[in-house]
Structure formats: C-alpha cells, structure tokens
C-alpha cells in the first residue's frame, strides 16, 4: 500500500483544461497574437512561469509574460466564482483517500488558483502539502513538482502514488519515481506509450481506492 497519494488538479479534480484554453485564446485574440493548432497540447503541464512566455514568444501576444499570467489567472478566478467545475466524485475521492493515507497535490496551476479550488471544494485542510509548479524550477513533464510534494509530505517518492490525467503529468510523476494511477483526460488523451508508464488506468475517480 502506498504511504501517500498525490493528486493533480486540472483534469483530475476539476474539469478546467477548456477554461484555461478559452482564457488564453481571449488574450491571444485581443492582443495581437495568432492561435495555432496544437497550442493546447503544447501547454499541457507547463507552469505559470512557462506558458505566458509561450503566448508571447510563440503566439505573438503583445504583452509581457507577467501581464499575460495576471490576465489569464483573473479570468480563471472569476469563472470559478461563478461555478467550480468539479469532476464527478472529486470531493468524495479526496475524502476517501485522505481517511486512509496522507495526501498532497502537485499542480501546474498558479498558487492562488489551487487555494481557491481546494477552499471552495471544502477539502483544503485534508491536504498535507500542495505545490504549484511555479514554486519549482521546471514544470511537468519534469519531476520537480512531484519531488517537492513528496519532500513537503516527508515521504519517499517511491512510496507514493500519483493521480494524473495528462501525458506530461504521467511522465512527471513517473520520472519522480512514483506509482501512477492514470484517469485519462478525454479532451487530451495521453499517448499509449505514456499510459504504459502508469501502474493502473481507471475510467473515473469513483474507482480510486487507497
């Protein structure tokens, strides 16, 4: 049995990837940029230090990366104030696992987005550690965010299980030495070779057991 579980946020607990993409597309369209095919997948797993640079340097947005980041995060927070798009069984899965083992979170979302989501879910106090990839050197698929989550939980990464939905997330957790449970994102399905890195593939959170 794993000594801890570490959850991803976007695509695992909240159905938010489309909201992130919509906010970024609005910024690109309104500030001189040009969206291109594949941009959504390119940015999956990027940290908030990385994707604003992508919008500026690759998509031509006429803003600074800091301005891009602030505008997109503001749009996400406003959307979450109106409705928090929890995935089915998210709150129950967190509570079920936390009743058995320590839990953490390793997310590409900004710190303030993480805190708002967990607070509105009513589960913030259940997490022993939460890490945003803006707090580490590299975003997913690098292992940094999962290694930091394990460090803050005080556990060996090899004794932990990560819960992920995306290809870059699976690769990140696997590179950190964690066992991976994959719940594939239907909007951006992981490649078969990435799924083969997972110890288990589940159709949804209702099947997740510690």
Q: Any idea which residues carry the catalytic annotation?
A: 8, 10
- Distance between CA atoms of residues 169 and 178, nearest Å: 12
């Amino acid at each position: 049995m794993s000594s801890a579980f570490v959850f991803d946020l976007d695509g695992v607990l909240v159905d938010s990837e489309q909201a992130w993409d919509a906010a970024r597309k609005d910024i690109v369209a309104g500030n001189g940029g040009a969206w291109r095919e594949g941009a959504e997948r390119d940015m999956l797993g990027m940290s908030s230090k990385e994707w604003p640079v992508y919008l500026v340097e690759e998509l031509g947005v006429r803003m600074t990366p800091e301005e891009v980041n602030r505008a997109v995060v503001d749009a996400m927070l406003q959307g979450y104030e109106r409705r928090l798009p929890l995935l089915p069984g998210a709150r129950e899965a967190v509570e079920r696992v936390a009743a058995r083992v320590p839990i953490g979170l390793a997310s590409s979302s900004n710190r303030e987005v993480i805190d708002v989501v967990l607070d509105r879910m009513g589960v913030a106090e259940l997490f022993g550690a939460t890490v945003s990839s803006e707090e580490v050197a590299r975003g997913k698929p690098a292992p940094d965010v999962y290694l930091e989550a394990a460090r803050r939980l005080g556990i060996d990464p090899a004794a932990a299980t990560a819960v992920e939905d995306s290809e870059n997330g699976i690769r990140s957790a696997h590179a950190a030495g964690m066992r991976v449970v994959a719940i594939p994102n239907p909007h951006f399905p992981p490649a078969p070779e990435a799924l083969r890195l997972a110890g288990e593939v589940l159709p949804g959170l209702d099947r997740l057991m510690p």
